[in-house]
């Protein structure tokens, strides 16, 4: 007789949802979590506010997953953004929609989401053990029989759902354990790499702009001299380079370009709402207004204060020149700079600092209808451990919840049929 019918390894979004769904459908479930508390990564997501999902039509969701979005097609339809918000509301977490369709708890407190999920598990009688590190998935004759911890404790079950996360934010417990399990069990693991990660730049002047946030700008990504992608929205300068929502979205492609040895460049349009001609007229109006001032004192209406000295240097225009002496060619250089501020990308930050891991267990070896392994009977995968990743905006958490939902239900159907 097995100790449990289903064991879930990992107490994040996918793991808690999987455990709850399996229990809700009648299985005896054990949830094992490496850290002392469940939902550590949920608690810090969205700067502690938790961007749960996005309100975009689920039919259009797939295009927001550069990493194997098609794998999620049926999974997201089974448990979509509407179902997730309804589920959370049932457990006391009302949600709201913000810019870009991002969905957050009305409370702006990610802990409320963790508490709701924990309440869901308690209500259904899921056994939870925290502070335990699993060393091995136990298999006999091609079928899962349970798991073993590093303390050599064994827990037996008819099915195991691995929801250990990726390799980003290791302090939350995501230290790549699932990748190690997968390789040992004969699964192919697509090399884990950072996705949604800040970018390092070659230009030293970015340090002068540390902390400067820019809104309503457009960042265009160029790799090997070819335009690859563009994003509009908010970005942030840091001491090492750039970050912020639009940078994170472009970072996956940028990182791939760097790893392939291609020249990678970001071009920032600080005034994307204006054509070059319109921007020229705007600058001429400002110059007329400040015609007797020095050039260095004539850009306050156009740019944030901290950006002005950098732009003046890059423009090559004498900062002490009286504005009415700035000629047409110099003005054209300024316009070009404002609409194509170039940054050379040298690298991403490490995978440990990434919001999401790209790579993971190859989706070709997972049945998308059940999340079951095609190699080991009774083994299921869900969440960031799988080679699926999305852009910012709530898409990654939605994918984790949806994969967990499907894995929990499918595993329960399997073990109940074995009774």
Helices 13-24 + 110-123 axis angle, to 10: 30
- Residue 13 and residue 98 in one domain: yes
Contact 46, 62 (CB under 8 A): no
Last residue of a domain, one of 326, 348, 370: 348
Secondary structure (3-state) at 101:
helix
Q: Is 281 a domain residue?
A: yes
Q: 128 near 31, Cβ under 8 Å?
A: yes
Q: Does residue 167 sit in the same domain as residue 208? A: no
What is the DSSP code string of 218-280? EEEEEETTEEEEEEEEEEEE-SSEEESHHHHHHHHHHHHHHHTT--EEEEEES-TTS-HHHHH
Nearest to 66 by CA among 388, 355, 397, 381: 388
For the chain, the domain total comes to 2
Q: Each residue's pLDDT tens digit in the chain (419 positions)?
A: 457 999 999 999 999 999 999 999 999 999 999 999 999 999 999 999 999 999 999 889 999 999 999 999 999 999 999 999 999 999 999 999 999 999 999 999 999 999 999 999 999 999 999 999 999 999 999 999 999 999 999 999 999 999 999 988 888 888 899 999 999 999 999 999 999 999 999 999 999 999 999 999 999 999 999 999 999 999 999 999 999 999 999 999 999 999 999 999 999 999 999 999 999 999 999 999 999 999 999 999 999 999 999 999 999 999 999 999 999 999 999 999 999 999 999 999 999 999 999 999 999 999 999 999 999 999 999 999 999 999 999 999 999 999 999 999 999 999 988 75
Does some domain include residue 362?
yes
Statement to judge: residues 178 and 206 lie in one domain: no
Looking at residue 313, its pLDDT comes to 97
The rounded radius of gyration (Å) of the Cα atoms in the chain is 25
Question: Looking at the domain assignment, is residue 64 inside a domain?
Answer: yes
Same domain, 135 and 239: no
- Examine the fold and report which residue of 331, 348, 365 is the final residue of a domain before the chain moves on: 348
User: Which structural domain range is residue 66 located in?
Assistant: 6-194+356-418
Instruction: Say if residue 81 is in the same domain as residue 142.
Output: yes
Residues 204, 342 within the same domain: yes
Question: What integer pLDDT is reported at residue 169 of this predicted model?
Answer: 83
**Residue in the block written with tokens 């999340």:** 371
Same-domain pairing of 323 and 381 = no
The pLDDT value recorded for residue 1 is: 40
pLDDT of 419 reads: 59
Residue at a domain's end among 348, 367, 385: 348
Closest CA to 163 of 374, 406, 380, 389: 380
Backbone angles phi, psi at 38, to 5 degrees: -75, 155
Domain match, 141 and 269 both: no
| Whether residues 148 and 97 fall in one domain | yes
CATH of the domain at 408: 3.50.50.60
Look up the pTM and report it. Answer: 0.92
What separation, in Å, do the N-terminal and C-terminal C-alpha atoms of the chain show?
A: 10
- CATH assignment of the domain containing 245: 1.10.8.50
Question: Is 114 domain-assigned?
Answer: yes
| Domain-embedded: residue 1 | no
DSSP 34: S
Tell whether 175 and 283 lie within a shared domain. no
**pLDDT at position 2:** 57
Question: Percentages helix, strand, coil for the chain, rounded to the nearest 5?
Answer: 40, 25, 35
Q: Which residue pairs from 291-297 have beta carbons closer than 8 angstroms and sit at least 24 positions apart in sequence?
A: 291/322, 291/323, 291/324, 292/322, 292/323, 292/324, 293/322, 293/323, 294/319, 294/320, 294/321, 294/322, 294/323, 295/319, 295/320, 295/321, 295/322, 295/323, 295/326, 296/320
Distance of CA 287 to the CA centre of its chain: 43
For residue 285, being part of any structural domain is answered with: yes
- Do 132 and 149 touch, CB atoms closer than 8 A? yes
Closest CA to 37 of 23, 53, 16: 16
Same domain, 151 and 132: yes
Check whether residue 164 and residue 284 sit in a common domain: no
**DSSP state string for 133-165:** -EEEEEEETTEEEEEEETT--EEE-SEEEE---
Residue recorded with tokens 């969440």: 383
Burial degree of 184 (CB within 10 A; 0-12, 13-18, 19+): exposed
Cα 323–chain centre separation: 45
Q: Checking DSSP bridges between strand 29-33 and strand 127-130, what pairing results, if any?
A: parallel
β strands within 53-186, DSSP E: 53-54, 95-97, 102-105, 127-130, 134-140, 143-149, 154-156, 159-162
From residue 29, how far is each of 19, 95, 178, 356, 417 by CA, in Å? 6, 29, 19, 27, 16
**Residue 416 pLDDT:** 85
Picking from 356, 52, 20, the residue whose alpha carbon sits closest to that of residue 174 is 356
């Amino acid at each position: 007789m097995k100790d449990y019918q289903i064991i879930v390894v990992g107490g994040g979004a996918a793991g808690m949802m999987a455990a709850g769904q399996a229990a809700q459908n009648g299985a005896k479930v054990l949830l094992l979590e490496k850290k002392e508390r469940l939902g550590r990564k949920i608690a810090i997501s969205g700067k502690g506010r938790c961007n749960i999902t996005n309100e975009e039509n689920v039919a259009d969701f797939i295009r927001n997953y550069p990493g194997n979005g098609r794998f999620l097609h049926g999974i997201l339809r089974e448990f979509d953004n509407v179902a997730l918000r309804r589920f959370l509301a049932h457990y006391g977490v009302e949600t709201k929609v913000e810019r870009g369709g991002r969905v957050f708890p009305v409370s702006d407190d990610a802990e409320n989401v963790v508490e709701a999920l924990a309440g869901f598990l308690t209500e259904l009688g899921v056994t939870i053990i925290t502070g335990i590190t699993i060393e091995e998935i136990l298999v006999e004759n091609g079928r899962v029989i349970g798991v073993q911890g590093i303390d050599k404790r064994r827990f037996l079950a008819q099915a195991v759902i691995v929801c250990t996360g990726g390799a980003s934010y290791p302090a939350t417990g995501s230290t790549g354990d699932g990748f190690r399990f997968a390789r040992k069990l004969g699964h192919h693991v697509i090399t884990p790499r950072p996705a949604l990660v800040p970018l390092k730049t070659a230009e030293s002047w970015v340090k002068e702009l540390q902390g400067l946030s820019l809104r309503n700008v457009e960042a265009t990504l160029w790799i090997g001299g070819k335009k690859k992608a563009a994003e509009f929205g908010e970005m942030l300068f840091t001491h090492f380079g750039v970050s912020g929502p639009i940078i994170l979205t472009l970072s996956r492609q940028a990182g791939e370009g760097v790893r392939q040895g291609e020249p990678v460049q970001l071009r920032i349009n600080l005034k994307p709402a204006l054509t070059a001609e319109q921007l020229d007229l705007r600058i001429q109006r400002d110059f007329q207004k400040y015609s007797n001032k020095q050039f260095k004192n004539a850009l306050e209406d156009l740019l944030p204060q901290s950006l002005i000295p950098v732009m003046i240097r890059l423009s090559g225009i004498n900062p002490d020149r009286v504005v009415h002496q700035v000629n047409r060619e110099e003005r054209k250089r300024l316009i070009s700079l404002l609409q194509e501020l170039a940054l050379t990308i040298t690298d991403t930050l490490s995978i440990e600092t990434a919001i999401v891991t790209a790579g993971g267990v190859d989706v070709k070896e997972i049945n998308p209808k059940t999340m079951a392994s095609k190699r080991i009977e009774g083994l299921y995968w869900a969440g960031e451990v799988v080679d699926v990743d999305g852009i910012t905006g709530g898409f990654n958490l939605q994918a984790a919840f949806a994969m967990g939902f499907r894995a929990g239900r499918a595993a329960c159907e399997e073990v109940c049929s074995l009774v």
